[in-house]
Each structure stands twice: as C-alpha cells, then as structure tokens.
Amino acid sequence: MEPKAPSIPHDSTCLQSLSKMLLTFHDLKIPIAPGKTQGPLQVLEFMGIILDTVKMEARLPADKIHRIRTIFAEFEAKKSCTLKELQSLIGTLNFACKVVPPGRPFLQRMIDLTRNVKESHHHIKLNLGFFKDLAMWKQFITNWNGANFFLSTLWQDADSLQLFTDASGTLGYGGIFGTKWFQGTWEPSHQLDKPGISIAWQELFAIVIACQLWGSLLCNKRLIFNCDNESVVNIINSKRSKVPRVMNRFITPSYPSHIEI
C-alpha cells in the first residue's frame, strides 16, 4: 500500500480552490464522479499512476509493482509462452514505461518475438535476448520506478553544452564535454568489415559512451546531439532499430540518469 499522503501546507486555500473548481463544473453541467474525486492531496493516484508533488515524481503504485513482479516470476519459469501471454506482458511493460524512463528499448526484442505469429494460442519460444531484457526490467522496477516531473523545459544543444561526439569508420571514435574528453580506436570486432557493424552502429557507440561517462552531470536535462547519420537520429528518436546489433548497443548502458535525448 502507498503511505498516507502528507498533510498540505495552507490546505484550506487548496480546499477552497477545489470547491470553486467543482462548483464551476456543476454550473457548466460537466459531470464529475464523486467517488473518484480526491484532494487536495500532495500524493494521489491518477489513471493507475501515483503523482507525488513532494518527491516531484510519478511512479507505479505498490499493487502494480507486486503484480509485475509476479508476472516476471511466472515468465522466468517458462521456456515458451502463447502469443496472447507475451502480448499481455508487453502491454503491461509498455504502460510501465510512462514512469520507467529507460525501459522502452528493452521491449523491442520482446516485440520482435511476436512477429509472424498469427494466432493468439500459438506458442513462442523465449530466447536468451528475452530473458536478458526481463532481467533488466526487474532492475528497473526496483531502481527506476519514478520519473521526474520536471525535466528542464529547455532543449540544450551541443553548442550550449560544448558536448560533441563523432566516429570515423576506419580510425575510431571520440567525444568532448567542456574540458572532459574521451577517444579510442576500434577493436577488431567493431570494424566495418565485421557482421552487424555499420557506420550507424559506430556513431551510436560514441553517443552511448558519452551518456555513460557524463550522464550524472547531465541529470534532468533534455539534450540535442548533433549527428550526421540519419539512421542514428531515427534510432535515438524512436528508441528502436530493426538491426539487432545496433539495438543491443543502444540498450546496453541504460542511461544512468534522467536524461531525454
């Protein structure tokens, strides 16, 4: 159960405001469900999500967390499941993405398993990628249940932050953030002649490293990375890719802070 909501400073003023709003709705003949009208409160549940103005976050309520953990335990014991069962899991986690910011990329491999499966009762073999993503979701539910209400209202571009990354197909990769920097040469397995490696993968690699290294310094910011590869732009904006190795690189770090890119 969620803890009792804390008392509200100046709650009489808040109550007066609520009463005026309800009276206005009544005058305008806008129906209100009394059983669903709460407040004034600093912590309340709305549309299945706890809104907490003390911690300034949105999070899943305790009963939903318990239900999700139960579902995880059920799937951990499976080698296969029906299409209907997998779609139900995906739907549950898709809802959780509203308050678990880094979760969405970890749905892609689950979604991929449903492709070309026609009937809801047909069985799907659960592969290693599925169980890896399920393990990440277990961590998210424990450590990431709470999305900050107030990311910066401004999108900050590379020039204002002095944050730049780039990659060369043959030479290597690097990044700079103010006076901080990193650089490296490609390992043999990351060169362009290897299966699954493309310039898009390499460009994304540099951005991922920047987020891993400097994420804690960019907390609660909205960032605009400059990238000259259209595929990478689309991958970051949609948080998905049809190329497995690119997707694996994108989801590996699980960005360590509340950052929107």
Task: Give per-residue pLDDT as tens, 200-249.
Answer: 889 988 988 888 888 878 877 788 888 888 888 888 877 777 666 666 65
Measure the CA angle with vertex 47, ends 140 and 104; round to 5°. Answer: 30
Predicted pLDDT of residue 256: 46
Question: Is 257 a residue whose pLDDT tops 60?
Answer: no
> How do the domains of the chain map onto residue ranges?
62-144, 163-250
Predicted pLDDT of residue 228: 86
Asked whether the beta carbons of 226 and 254 are under 8 A apart, the reply is: no
pTM for this one? 0.65
State the pLDDT confidence band at 155, using cuts at 50, 70 and 90: confident
43-74 burial, b if ≥16 CB within 10 A, otherwise e? bebeeebbbbeeeebbbbeeebeeebeebbee
Q: Tell whether domain 62-144 is in CATH 3.30.70.890.
A: no
In whole angstroms, what separates CA 192 from the centre of its chain?
Answer: 30
Predicted pLDDT of residue 179: 93
State the pLDDT confidence band at 147, using cuts at 50, 70 and 90: low
Which H or E element spans position 150?
none
User: Omega before 256 cis (within 30°)?
Assistant: no
Predicted pLDDT of residue 223: 82
Q: What is the pLDDT of residues 160-182, one digit of tens each?
A: 888 999 999 999 999 999 999 99
